Amino acid sequence: MNNNMRILIADDEPVSTSLLAHQLEQWQHTVTTTTNGFDALAAFKSETFDVVITDWMMPVMSGPELCAAIREEEKSGELTSFIILLTSRGSSEDLAVALKAGANDFVTKPFAPLVLQSRLANAARIVQLQMELHRKKQEADKLACTDYLTQLRNRRAMWRNLQMDSERMQRELDASKKVSLETETRLKAQISNLNKTIDTQQSHIHSVSDDKDASTAQQQQEIARLRQLLDVHHVPHEASASA
């Protein structure tokens, strides 16, 4: 085939994977192999692939589960990969499961190289059409945001940039609120411990209220210090009873 594509293989059978990868490389494709759905998903997140060829039965994550996970990942983008599901199953119910999970094509094993080659030719046409559509969309977006006479960014571009900045600031604000909430929770726990310590110290002072010795004075000073810590955080507390 003349159309070079980046292809990801997910199959837990080493022999089948090796044979398939060799055949694809002979057709001038760039191939990445993985042995289960989890590793395939990790590879998909770190690189861009035109086609994903996955077996149905795999450890950790099955083929249909991998299809669904890939489609979920693609929701945030504009381009999608062409997914071919390989399996020894061939019932109409299995086909329905595969397509519902997000597969574009379904090949029953064992299959002849010519069958896979024709499926990949179809995948190449769809990938090319999708890339061309994406390029046209980018050109249209650029024209819509550029003044025809001056070729400068127009009001629409300004509003789009403002919207992007607003969304970014909202994300940063949400992140800071999460950090503030965690800090507040930790601070409340520390204040609760301080209150318990104060109560313990106060109870001890009450139990020895008849002995006005140096030890009692030190405890009173410690309570005063703890109260000051609470006051710094504006935490209300009960007035200390007289020793």
CB-neighbour burial class of residue 173 (10 A; exposed 0-12, middle 13-18, buried 19+): exposed
pLDDT for position 205? 57
* pLDDT tens per residue, range 204-228: 655 655 454 555 566 666 666 666 6
Residue 10 corresponds to which amino acid? A
Cis? peptide before 110, omega within 30° of 0: yes
User: Phi, psi (5° rounding) for residue 224?
Assistant: -60, -40
Query: Which of 21-30, 112-121, 130-139, 145-154 has the weakest average pLDDT?
Result: 145-154
Residue at token pair 């900045």: 165
User: 110: closest CA among 87, 128, 134?
Assistant: 87
Residue 131 pLDDT > 60, yes or no?
Answer: yes
User: 49: closest CA among 65, 34, 61, 59?
Assistant: 34
Residue 1 pLDDT > 50, yes or no?
Answer: no
pLDDT for position 239? 45
* pLDDT tens per residue, range 163-195: 777 888 888 888 877 777 777 777 777 777 767
Task: For residues 243 and 239, give the distance between their C-alpha atoms in angstroms, rounded to a whole number.
Answer: 12
Runs of H (alpha helix) within the chain: 14-26, 37-46, 63-73, 92-101, 113-144, 155-207, 214-232
* pLDDT tens per residue, range 44-90: 999 999 999 999 999 889 999 999 999 999 887 777 899 999 988 77
* pLDDT tens per residue, range 74-130: 887 777 899 999 988 777 888 888 889 999 998 888 888 899 999 999 999 998 888
The CATH H-level (homologous superfamily) assignment of domain 6-144 is Response regulator (3.40.50.2300)
Domain residue extents for the chain:
6-144, 157-232
Q: CB under 8 Å to 81, separation ≥6 — which residues? A: 8, 44, 49, 50, 51, 52, 70, 74
For the chain, the C-alpha Rg in angstroms (whole number) is 33
